Amino acid sequence: MIPDRLRIGITQRRIAGTADAWARDALDAHWGDWLASCWPRSRFLGIPNFSDPALAVRHVVEWDTDLLVLGGGEDVGTTPERDAVERALLDHARARSGPVIGVCRGMQMLHAAEGGELVRRTGHAASPHPLQGRVPADTCVNSWHHWCIDHPGPRWQVLARAPDGSVEAMRHARLPWLGLMWHPERPGGSFPAMWEWIHDIIANIRRDA
């Protein structure tokens, strides 16, 4: 049975400070409605980009998080605080074989944390496109990224690719980790095959209350 009372922790983008405003953490407004509609009995928590990454790990441990979602946002490597927090959270998830879903930048971070290389490419940002692979032939998704994955490491199983051959969805061979390069929380981001992958990731979670 697929659990429906999850505690979901989701990482946030870091918005740089300006002359008249401090730096801020922010969550895409689509996430709240999407999570509430998909898992109405679950709870979700935005994880701050702590200056000390250990605080982020303590945060999810004390909150007893079931599922970690690495959200989208700025490019990997542009915000050291967020990069450090997400890498610490992935180290924690790896040690306990915890489920992780990486979305857009989040999938790129999954790949980078396993030693993979990202390739910059045009034509993907704000440009919906079809998927090829373990999906129906007419599957099309939104697209908002500038960096792509051409050659995933040996630990990753490719589930779908874009027409240019770059990886659009992948699953870890050993861990319950799933990467989606599109945004499932935004319009044009949800289809049945994707939910089968997500269900496989979370199926072993047990939470009765």
151, pLDDT greater than 70: yes
1, pLDDT greater than 70: no
Condensed to tens digits (0 to 9), the pLDDT of residues 156-202 reads 999 999 999 999 999 999 999 999 999 999 999 999 999 999 999 99
pLDDT band at 207 (very low <50, low <70, confident <90, very high): low
208, pLDDT greater than 60: no
pLDDT band at 205 (very low <50, low <70, confident <90, very high): confident
3, pLDDT greater than 90: no
- Average pLDDT value for the chain: 94
Under a CB-based contact definition with an 8 Å cutoff, are residues 89 and 56 in contact? yes
Mean pLDDT confidence for 27-56? 95
| Higher per-residue pLDDT: 205 or 65 | 65
**According to the model, what pLDDT value does residue 115 have?**
93
Mean pLDDT confidence for 90-111? 97
Condensed to tens digits (0 to 9), the pLDDT of residues 116-141 reads 999 999 989 999 999 999 999 899 99
**According to the model, what pLDDT value does residue 82 have?**
98
Distances (CA, A) of 85 to 25, 74, 98, 145, 192: 12, 14, 16, 21, 31
**According to the model, what pLDDT value does residue 209 have?**
47
Under a CB-based contact definition with an 8 Å cutoff, are residues 158 and 151 in contact? no
β-pairing, 129-130 vs 177-180, is unpaired
pLDDT band at 149 (very low <50, low <70, confident <90, very high): very high
β-pairing, 67-70 vs 7-11, is parallel
152-161 in b/e form (b: 16+ CB < 10 A) is: beebbebbbb
Helix, strand, coil percentages, rounded to 5, for the chain: 25, 25, 50
Residue 33 backbone phi and psi in degrees, to 5: -65, -40
Sign of the torsion formed by the C-alpha atoms of 199, 3, 110 and 27:
positive
Determine the distance from the C-alpha atom of residue 111 to the mean position of all C-alpha atoms in its chain, rounded to a whole number. 11
Q: Quote the crossing angle between the two packed helices 105-113 and 80-96, to the nearest 10°.
A: 60
Report the C-alpha gap between 205 and 209 in whole angstroms.
12
99, pLDDT greater than 50: yes
